[in-house]
Structure 1
Amino acid sequence: MGSIVLDKTDGVATLTVDSPEVKNGLTPQMGRELVAACEEIDADPQIGAAVVRGAGGTFCSGADRRTWNPGADQAADGTFQETGAVYKAFVRVGNLAVPTIAAVRGAAVGAGINLMLATDLRVVATDARLLAGFLRIGLHPGGGFFTIAGRTAGREATAAMGLFSQEVDGRRAAEIGMAWAAVPDADVEDTAHRFAAEPAKDPALAREAVRSFRTELGPPGIGWDAAVEFERATQMWSQRRRNSR
């Protein structure tokens, strides 16, 4: 039911979300695998950068609804822990000891856009579809979306996407600062790996540089960890409310 695949080549780690039958929807188990893969990357001093991608030409469609039950009691211990496993994965990617790049093809929706925004830099296909979409399906945003979107695209774009469910393509994402580059779909992953190859030449320096980068520029407002917890109670309420309609 999906997995996280880790490849390490020439100082670059590639993390692949691999569940193409559901357009790379994330499960709690995949969240735990993503955390474990990040631990492996951090423990390898030969790795100087990481690329996050999705299998089969799409990035991540959000939560895998085969394992998602919004009608369950979201405060029940088991449900709370399962949801938290996905949220912890976003934060863990964001705290990797190396510079990170998302290579975004196809769609990044819901949880998928959070995973994309967890990275330091984004390369997107010009025709990629980027959509938060939480309110559109009757849910409050989760995963610290407002914090991690706001630190890239700013308040206006975060409002448009998070409050008004506006979708942007890759070209627009680059225009508003949500991505560094928008390139043809066939060039996305090569471009991301070409960028990653630069810090990978000197992993020790790359790790020190990215630590300084995040310490000095970190997300605005409340911290990301706090944002995840701040959103959770309201999101659980919205899940229960959605199911009762």
Structure 2
Amino acid sequence: MRYQTIEYDLTAGVAVITLNRPDKMNALNTQMRAELVDAVKTAAGAARVIVLTGAGRAFCSGQDLGDPVDAAHVDLERVLREEYEPILRAIAEAPVPVIAAVNGAAAGAGANLALAADVVIAARSAYFMQAFARVGLMPDAGGTYALPRTIGLARAMGAALFADKIGAEQAADWGMIWEAVDDDAFAETWRARADHLASGPTLAFAATKQALRASHGNSYDDQLALEARLQGECGRSRDFKEGVLAFLDKSRVARFEGR
């Protein structure tokens, strides 16, 4: 697919997908949603880590309410099932870590797109807003799943009902995101984090991601069984053998291959 609303770069195992409609604050229209699905799936098969970020002053302002295709009479149930859910599932099912590098405003579905990632790193000037109530809607794009699990029901309810801006630092304090970073160190920080993951044990990261995401729906016994099975697979990997050898050697760092 030739991309028109996003940019895609794959370098040294790091796939950076940049939402690129800065004049619209990277609002999501039909074309961008289709391109995002394709880009995430492409990166999942080619990269060792995926980064989602935005061009300009926003990460993503959510649904493009000014797009003729997304007019007021659009069938939102269809759009969510056919256009948003594939993005969210592609992120969740990617066998590599997905970082959301939130450079600015993340509102509505844009906020929940960020929260769908495995790790969220935000510039300190960025903010998150469940803006849905302002246009007579409820949170979607996975927001009603992510928010109560990260910040608790009381805060999730307040964020959804009042549609207040939640600054990056507050989001980090609440446990909504991994970290808030000073603006002048933001790009350097998320790139260093991405490089760290790209050089790490990809198979172990995939197992970690699978186990943690499954834990909400599993019983304790089921989760212990899943841990044992996945750890068994990791223990048979070349990366585990390399990690042990490097640990015993003490003079070098492990060179993980993701196998």
Partner of 2:73: 72
The answer as to whether partners of 1:28 and 1:86 remain within 8 angstroms in 2 is: no
- Cross-structure match for 1:205: 204
- Mean alpha-carbon deviation: is it higher for 160-169 or for 174-183? 160-169
Instruction: Report the equivalent of 2:243.
Output: none
- One-letter amino acid matched to 1:17: L
1:11 and 1:203 in contact (8 A); partners too: no
Q: Any conservation in 2 of the 1:50–1:98 contact (CA below 8 Å)? A: yes
Taking structure 1 as reference, are residues 73 and 62 closer, same or farther at Cα in structure 2, changes over 3 Å only?
Answer: closer
Residue 197 of structure 1, CA deviation: 1.9
- Does structure 1 residue 178 correspond to structure 2 residue 176? yes
Q: Any idea what SS the aligned residue of 2:99 has? A: strand
Does the 8 Å CA contact 1:28/1:82 hold for their aligned counterparts?
Answer: no
Separation in 2, partners of 1:30, 1:39:
14
**Cross-structure match for 2:214:** 215
RMSD: 2.5
The 3-state SS of whatever aligns with 2:131 is coil
Change beyond 3 A, Cα 1:100–1:194: same
48-57 or 65-74, which deviates more: 65-74
Give the letter for the 2:211 counterpart.
S
Q: The residue matched to 1:91 in structure 2 has which SS?
A: helix
Unaligned runs of 5+ in 1: 220-245
Q: Write out aligned runs for 1:105-184 (5 A).
A: 105-184=103-182
Give the aligned residue type for 1:108. Answer: A
CA distance in 2, matches of 1:150, 1:90: 17
Q: CA deviation at 1:70?
A: 4.7
List runs of 5+ in structure 2 lacking aligned partners: 219-259
Aligned residues: 215
Counterpart position of 1:29: 31
The secondary structure found in structure 1 opposite 2:95 is coil
Q: How far off its partner does 1:16 sit?
A: 0.8
State the alpha-carbon separation in 2 of the partners of residues 69 and 214 from structure 1: 31
TM-score normalized by the length of structure 2? 0.75
C-alpha change, 1:82 and 1:149, in structure 2 (3 Å) is closer
Paired amino acid for 1:90:
L
1:30-83 CA-to-partner distances (Å, cap 9, x unmatched) read 111111112212222xx22111100113200111223254531527xxx82587
Residue of structure 1 equivalent to 2:63:
63
Mapped to 1, the partners of 2:5 and 2:178 lie a distance apart of: 28
The C-alpha deviation readout for 1:210-245, integer Å capped at 9, x for no partner, is 2233233579xxxxxxxxxxxxxxxxxxxxxxxxxx
Pair member with larger Rg: 2
Structure 1's 10 and 185: CA in aligned 2 closer, same or farther, altered over 3 A? same
Residue 25 (structure 1) shift:
0.5
Tell me whether 107-116 or 184-193 shows the greater mean CA deviation: 184-193
Could you state the TM-score of these two structures normalised by the residue count of structure 1? 0.79
Equivalent position amino acid for 1:151 in 2: R
Deviation at 1:143, TM superposition (A): 1.6
Give the number of the structure with larger relative contact order, counting CA–CA contacts within 8 Å between residues 6 or more apart. 1
Residue number in structure 2 paired with 1:194: 192
- The 3-state SS of whatever aligns with 1:52 is strand
